Amino acid sequence: MKHVSIKEAKDRLPALLREVENGEHVVITRRGEPVADVVPHVRKKGGIDFEAMSRWKRARGIDRVFGDPSPDFDDPFPEDFLLRPLP
């Protein structure tokens, strides 16, 4: 953790921000007393968290999400498929 005065922070702000982007924490002080902390902004990772999905499935006893498709999965429908009423 780095401590800098307000004047030094004002004079070196771009360099300090580069350090913060690299994970450094900077404390800005006035007369030796801390005034503000400059810390990296937390960015949420995008995409799918497969580990979280695996934990969720294990907690519920799910070993597979989808079963195997039936052998006739991609067979064409009969001609009268849309004409028959639903049961």
pLDDT digits (tens, 9 = 90+) for 14-28: 999 999 999 899 999
Per DSSP, 80 falls in state T
User: What are φ and ψ of residue 84, in 5° steps?
Assistant: -80, 140
Domain definitions of the chain by residue range: 2-38
Looking at residue 43, its pLDDT comes to: 74
Looking at residue 48, its pLDDT comes to: 86
List, for the chain, all residue ranges whose pLDDT scores fall below the cut of 70.
84, 87
Looking at residue 26, its pLDDT comes to: 95
* Measured distance CA(20)–CA(36) in Å, rounded: 13
Q: In which element (H, E) is residue 21 found? A: helix 13-21
CATH architecture label of 2-38: 3-Layer(aba) Sandwich (3.40)
Looking at residue 84, its pLDDT comes to: 66
Burial class (CB in 10 A: 0-12, 13-18, 19+), 38: middle
Q: pTM, whole model, 2 decimals?
A: 0.49
